[in-house]
Structure 1
Amino acid sequence: MLNRDERKRIWELDFLRGIALILMIIFHFLYDLNEFFHYPVAYYTGVYYYIGKVSVILFMLISGISSSLSRNNLKRGLRLLIIAMGITVVTHLWQAQWGIKFGILHFLGVSIMLYPALARLPSIALPVLGTLVIWAGRFLPEVSFDYLFPLGIKSSNFVSADYYPLIPWLGVFVYGVFLGKVLYKNHKSLLKFRFSPQNPVNYLGAHTLIVYLIHQPLLLLMLNIIFHFL
């Protein structure tokens, strides 16, 4: 028996969000092995690289779609941005060279707050805008300062362990806004069948933020224990 909140959720979005989270956890596990425990895993190339990128692109697309279903995107975006700033502080205190300055949560927070302006555009204009933003990423200049790093404009010395600037990645979010306006204008699932919302993937997808916040500390703790005994 589904409760009211579960009936209102669009199950396929939770499912895809859960898949994205699982892929991200796998990628971060490989990243941690290489960067913190010096185990030779080439996470930056081949299938491992694409696991990370598919995860991020799914999060951005689904976030754009979900924004078309939310009643208060400014509040949602601001909450994510506040949490992201907390992550910035914690990571810089932990190890400054690994500090996250504009990671996926920063990106999503700002993008969601921009949704009201994007939603006013005609639907046909959104994929054009998204493509232009992605294309603009190829022409960003390298400068001698880092004041514009949220836009993707930075110096060669800029470092952020997790970095997804608005250019070009906002283009992916805009594609999601387009999909939300076109496919989910009735705020209903597109599929006649559904998985139980209690299945593990959907459960993760419905609780993405809390799992995202705790998964890295848990991974590092687990790997510390394993390598300590090995």
Structure 2
Amino acid sequence: MTTPVIELKTADSQRIKSIDALRGLVMLIMLLDHVRERFFLHRQVSDPMDVESTEPALFASRLAAHFCAPIFVFLTGLSAWLYQQSARAESVSIFLLKRGLLLIVLEFTLVTFSWMGNFNTIYLQVIWAIGLSMLALALLVKMPRIAQWLLAVGIIALHNLLTPIQFSVDEWGYSLWTILHDRNYWIQTDWIAIKVSYPLLPWIGVILLGYCVGPMFDKQMPAAQRTTWLISAGICSLLLLLVLRGFNLYGETLPWQTFASPVHSLMSFFNFTKYPPSLDFLLLTLGVMALALVWLERFNAAGFVSVLSQFGAAPLFFYLLHLYVLLIIYSLLFAWFGANQGSYFGVDSIYSIWLIGVVLTLLLYCPTSVFATYKRRSNYSWIKYL
């Protein structure tokens, strides 16, 4: 048996591949979470999770999924900056407007149907949030660089102060505040219900931050300087999290507590709010992301980064593909076996969820890789939107 060789690469191709690889990694974690949503819904978790009633393995699975949205939104902003540097690229604002509108349309149509199998209730989730964030970024790219930094950091750091602001359904600000900051039903009538699951405001800060960081990934930027910056940013984020969360100072609405079990105490510490993402939530996820980017750019064990980058090179294709594969599999199993977990069909163990996730990863690699290769080679302008 041969030992995998750890390759040190700092070339331009590895710089870009690391971005695709990180995107691919979080999409596989997302796949695992969506398998949980399909086959473990009888053990649904809340936001934040109830530490005393959630088993550690389920908590860990959900905590891992917390990294998906912030990393993907951040990388969307970073990719927008890289796209802007292409000499043949159309205006980045025009591209962001087109892509943002496409994502919003997909959320209301293909994505909604893939989850529900109908349009009785429309849940506006991560694709909606990314689409609206792209529309916002299309306007914000015109701002001076220092103003972009101040706005991005200001939104991420200060939006927790807005938590006490609430509107009742009959007040004039309810609809706008539901979209921006409060997870609630936007429209609810006898014939349709639309719920905003991903409030927008913090995600604007995250996508703008990714855009601001873009110059660090310019091909003229020395890899050593980028590495130093990312490691410093990641460590500072995590240290700030330890201080703010450790002393329950700021950044999270739910204080952490000590339990008789150290495991449950640790779970309480990491029990962050995702909807909307709290400051502590973003310090953890973006801090780890910065360190992961360094690792993925520098080391490639047995082609691990190359495999991940195939998933990350065709994100929208993989997103829609895995949702419909899960819908079809669940529908067939439910039709064959019926409900075995209350009103749902499901499995008994979270470990079964992990196994299903691994199997689906292997099955979906080939079609995603084929499409990613076609996308790179295609001359069709529309293909870049996928």
Q: Which category describes the TM-score, using the shorter chain as reference length? A: 0.7 to 0.9
Partner of 2:152: 130
Q: Is the 8 A contact 1:11 1:194 kept in 2?
A: no
Aligned residue among 113, 129, 134 for 2:135: 113
Matched, 1:147 2:175: yes
CA distance in 2, matches of 1:50, 1:198: 23
Aligned residue among 320, 337, 340 for 1:213: 320
Partner of 2:216: 183
- Superposed CA deviations along residues 202-228 of structure 1, whole A, max 9, x for unmatched, are 111111101101212212333444564
Partner of 1:13: 19
- Superposed CA deviations along residues 140-193 of structure 1, whole A, max 9, x for unmatched, are 42222352232124657888677222222222112211111x312448895577
Matched, 1:66 2:97: no
Q: Is the 8 A contact 2:107 2:127 kept in 1?
A: yes
Structure with the higher fraction of residues in strand conformation: 2
Aligned to 2:66, the other structure's residue is in SS state helix
Report the CA distance shift for 1:88/1:28 in structure 2 as closer, same or farther (over 3 A). closer
CA distance in 2, matches of 1:93, 1:187: 48
Q: Counterpart amino acid of 1:65?
A: L
What percent of counterpart residues are identical?
A: 23
Report the CA distance shift for 1:57/1:202 in structure 2 as closer, same or farther (over 3 A). same
Larger Rg: 2
Q: Is the 8 A contact 1:197 1:203 kept in 2?
A: no
Report the CA distance shift for 1:74/1:188 in structure 2 as closer, same or farther (over 3 A). farther
Partner of 1:79: 102
How many residue pairs end up in the alignment?
A: 218
Shift of 1:119: 2.2
CA distance in 1, matches of 2:38, 2:27: 16
Aligned residue among 63, 77, 94 for 2:118: 94
CA distance in 2, matches of 1:115, 1:87: 24
Report the CA distance shift for 1:9/1:214 in structure 2 as closer, same or farther (over 3 A). farther
Shift of 1:27: 0.8
Q: Is the 8 A contact 1:84 1:105 kept in 2?
A: yes
Report the CA distance shift for 1:47/1:154 in structure 2 as closer, same or farther (over 3 A). closer
CA distance in 2, matches of 1:223, 1:188: 47
Shift of 1:138: 4.1
CA distance in 2, matches of 1:13, 1:131: 22
Note the residue ranges of structure 2 that are not aligned, 5 or more in a row: 1-12, 50-58, 84-88, 90-94, 188-192, 224-296, 341-386
CA distance in 1, matches of 2:206, 2:77: 8
CA distance in 2, matches of 1:223, 1:187: 48
Partner of 2:198: 164
Report the CA distance shift for 1:201/1:80 in structure 2 as closer, same or farther (over 3 A). same
CA distance in 1, matches of 2:36, 2:145: 39
Q: Which moved more, 1:57-66 or 1:103-112?
A: 103-112
CA distance in 1, matches of 2:222, 2:196: 32
Q: Is the 8 A contact 2:186 2:195 kept in 1?
A: no
Partner of 1:203: 310
Note the aligned Cα RMSD (angstroms).
3.5
Note the residue ranges of structure 1 that are not aligned, 5 or more in a row: 1-6
CA distance in 2, matches of 1:29, 1:74: 31
Q: Scaled by the length of structure 2, what TM-score is found?
A: 0.48
